[in-house]
Amino acid sequence: MESRSSKFPQVIIIGGGFGGIQIAKKLKDKEVNVLMLDKHNYHTFQPLLYQVATGGLEPDSIAFPIRKIFQKQANFKFRVANVTQINTESSSVTTSIGDFHYDYLVIATGSETNFFGQKEIEHFSMPMKSVPEALNLRSLLLQNFEEAVIEKNAQAKQAFLNFVIVGAGPTGVETAGALAELRNHVLPSDYDEIDFSKMKIFLVEGANRVLPPFSEQASYKAQQFLEEMGVTVLTNTMVDQYNGEQISFKNGDVIPTKSVIWSAGVKGAIIPGLEHAQIVRGGRIKTTDYNLIEGYNNIFAIGDISYMETEKFPHGHPGVAQVAIQQGQQLAANLIRIINKETPKPFDYFDKGSMATIGRNKAVVDLKFWKFQGFFAWITWMFIHLLFLVGFRNKLVTMMNWIVNYFSQDRGTRLIIRRFNRKTMKEDIAID
């Protein structure tokens, strides 16, 4: 086990997402040693993954090497490691590259796709929570058209041209919109042998409206935008089964499709070892109002993985980047207070609002006292996303791509670098 490198307490942060990055940054120049562990060597800007999947952006534009973020932070160390076990007795974590001791442990592992125990759906449908998953989806989409071109049987051909997105949260809505733009503006000139009036995009939602967490006004407008763009929106519709050939719904309807994109829910990415911790609905870990995991005195959880009940949020906080960011910042300050034997301050979430883009000049923005949709909302969405994107080069390249895509009505990145394998449902066939 790696021994402690100085007299300062060792803070281990598991996960380099929005929350993990923030707390590590705020601990700069403080009298602690920070060790971040992540299975990736990069931070992923998840809100733009759908643009990687639909060929609008390169992964390198929305992900950023974690080591680079902390180049100038002397008390920060990073390891690419998969954490497999938390050992609360010995205050250590077991990982793919060995054990590490902690004085304070921050669990910022975020969330993973929730298939609600439906193994067949889990195998055959496409999640979109990571860069590799987005690239898997990109290859699947492009290969569908290559296979549709050579498919003689009309029924089989249609299955390649039907796209079903399950879950109409921001990710589902934005993906449906991006697919519609591919069909309306990009793909027809690539595949003159395909009749794109036959390409169907279905957005399926169990609730009675798209973007359930948004305002009614935003939901209404978003659905209007989607239908203008030719997306079939199916609300109050629950998925029954999907076998890789056809998806069936609880209402008995069936759609033949080779592509089901699953954005219907998430669950906390739990690491074994927290016996005393209280795991609540959605696999989240119950914490105090300063992110301490109840039952422990030096283990904390922030962001999607944490479940914190407050007066304002009696059923926990939403699983969005802003909560993770603010909890990360707050916990950094509280850790220093705790180390200095001071009383930690309770977390108070400031909701900056939410937004989703449907397509060119089409977005919805919900602010506390102002809700607006359309072109200005779309500009706002782009501005905010560029603002939060890590790294000057990423901001620049992404903006360039967006400008070119806007005027050319094109999506530049349509390479099948690794072939999608319909058996493993992963992009794992190397083509040298």
Which of the residues are catalytic?
A: 174
Q: Does 1 bind a second copy (CB under 8 A)?
A: no
Among 80, 280, 333, 382, binds a second copy (CB under 8 A): 80
Tell me the backbone φ, ψ of residue 255, rounded to 5 degrees. Answer: -125, 125
Q: Whose Cβ is closer to a second copy: residue 127's or residue 177's?
A: 127
Q: Does 51 bind a second copy (CB under 8 A)?
A: no
Q: How many residues bind a second copy (CB under 8 A)?
A: 58
Is 207 in contact with 235 (CB distance < 8 Å)?
yes
Q: Whose Cβ is closer to a second copy: residue 41's or residue 87's?
A: 41
Q: Does 265 bind a second copy (CB under 8 A)?
A: no
Question: CA 287, CA 300: separation in Å to the nearest integer?
Answer: 7
Q: Does 387 bind a second copy (CB under 8 A)?
A: no
Question: CA 61, CA 52: separation in Å to the nearest integer?
Answer: 9
Q: How far is the CB of 327 from a second copy (least distance, A)?
A: 24
Q: Does 137 bind a second copy (CB under 8 A)?
A: no
Question: CA 143, CA 198: separation in Å to the nearest integer?
Answer: 17
Stretch that binds a second copy, among 103-111, 146-154, 218-226, 335-343 (CB under 8 A): 146-154
Question: CA 235, CA 231: separation in Å to the nearest integer?
Answer: 12
Q: How far is the CB of 12 from a second copy (least distance, A)?
A: 15
Q: How far is the CB of 38 from a second copy (least distance, A)?
A: 10
In the numeric block, which tokens belong to residue 247?
Answer: 């998806």
Q: Does 21 bind a second copy (CB under 8 A)?
A: no
| Helical H segments across 18-91, by residue range | 18-26, 49-53, 59-62, 66-69
Q: Given 3-state DSSP classes, what are the helix, strand and coil percentages for the chain, each rounded to the nearest 5?
A: 35, 25, 40
Is residue 358 within a helix (H) or strand (E), and if so which, with residue range?
Answer: strand 354-359
Q: Which of residues 195-214 bind a second copy (CB under 8 A)?
A: none
Among 39, 209, 286, 352, binds a second copy (CB under 8 A): 39
Handedness of CA 416, 422, 428, 432 (dihedral sign): negative
Q: Does 135 bind a second copy (CB under 8 A)?
A: yes
Q: Does 391 bind a second copy (CB under 8 A)?
A: yes
Q: Does 54 bind a second copy (CB under 8 A)?
A: no
Q: Does 103 bind a second copy (CB under 8 A)?
A: no
Q: Whose Cβ is closer to a second copy: residue 196's or residue 313's?
A: 196
Q: Does 56 bind a second copy (CB under 8 A)?
A: no
Q: Does 351 bind a second copy (CB under 8 A)?
A: no
Question: CA 370, CA 382: separation in Å to the nearest integer?
Answer: 18
Question: CA 273, CA 87: separation in Å to the nearest integer?
Answer: 6
Question: CA 425, CA 206: separation in Å to the nearest integer?
Answer: 25
Q: How far is the CB of 68 from a second copy (least distance, A)?
A: 6
Say whether 7 sits in a helix, a strand or coil: coil
In the numeric block, which tokens belong to residue 158?
Answer: 């249609």
Q: How far is the CB of 97 from a second copy (least distance, A)?
A: 6
Read out DSSP for 74-125? Answer: TTEEEEE--EEEEETTTTEEEETTEEEE-SEEEE---EEE--TT-HHHHHHS
Q: Does 28 bind a second copy (CB under 8 A)?
A: no
- Name the CA dihedral angle for 17, 18, 19, 23, rounded to a multiple of 10 degrees: 100
Q: Does 122 bind a second copy (CB under 8 A)?
A: no
Q: Does 183 bind a second copy (CB under 8 A)?
A: no
Question: CA 68, CA 393: separation in Å to the nearest integer?
Answer: 12
| Helical H segments across 131-210, by residue range | 131-150, 154-161, 170-181, 187-190
Q: Does 193 bind a second copy (CB under 8 A)?
A: yes
Stretch that binds a second copy, among 190-198, 274-282, 302-310, 357-365 (CB under 8 A): 190-198
Q: Whose Cβ is closer to a second copy: residue 65's or residue 212's?
A: 65
Among 28, 352, 422, 426, binds a second copy (CB under 8 A): 426
Q: Does 29 bind a second copy (CB under 8 A)?
A: no
What residue ranges bind a second copy (CB under 8 A)? 39-42, 58-61, 63, 65, 67-68, 71-72, 77, 79-80, 97-98, 127, 129-133, 135, 142, 146, 149-150, 189-191, 193, 391-394, 396-397, 400-401, 404, 408, 410, 412-418, 426-428, 430-432
